[in-house]
Amino acid sequence: MYAKSFMALDGNDHMTGARTAQSAPYDCYRCHVCDSAMTFHPEYHTERPWFEHRQNALTARGQYCPYVKPERSEIKRIKLLRRYVPDARPIVQKANWCCAGCNTEYHGERYCLICHTSEHSIEVLTD
């Protein structure tokens, strides 16, 4: 189960949003975090377009991407929500993280841009 992404890199390596991508739905899109190929879902009828990782085109960094491996708690929430909304997808949560692998702190999705993994990242709780 992959999380929906609303941002991606287009064929010219420019960051683009899903609504902007509706004007070029057949462009080649890649994940802005792990550089894996993505499928664009234009969703013209709902006006809620999104990107999704292509399972057969994950890069080595893609297996640690937060959009590919959502947190377990998020997956549980989605399974409960699917009882009421069958097409619900996980949303990536942003937080403060500390990577024990390279000893850096960062905010955002659980994915260290230096180590290219999320294995060593621990959430930093703020009061």
| pLDDT tens for each residue of 43-54 | 877 778 989 998
pLDDT of 46: 77
Q: Cα–Cα distance between 96 and 110 in angstroms, integer?
A: 8
Q: Cα–Cα distance between 49 and 37 in angstroms, integer?
A: 17
| pLDDT tens for each residue of 70-98 | 777 767 776 777 777 777 666 666 788 99
**Secondary structure string (H, E, C) spanning 35-74:** CCEEEEECCCCCCCCEEEECHHHCCCHHHHCCCCCCCHHH
* Global pTM exceeds 0.85: no
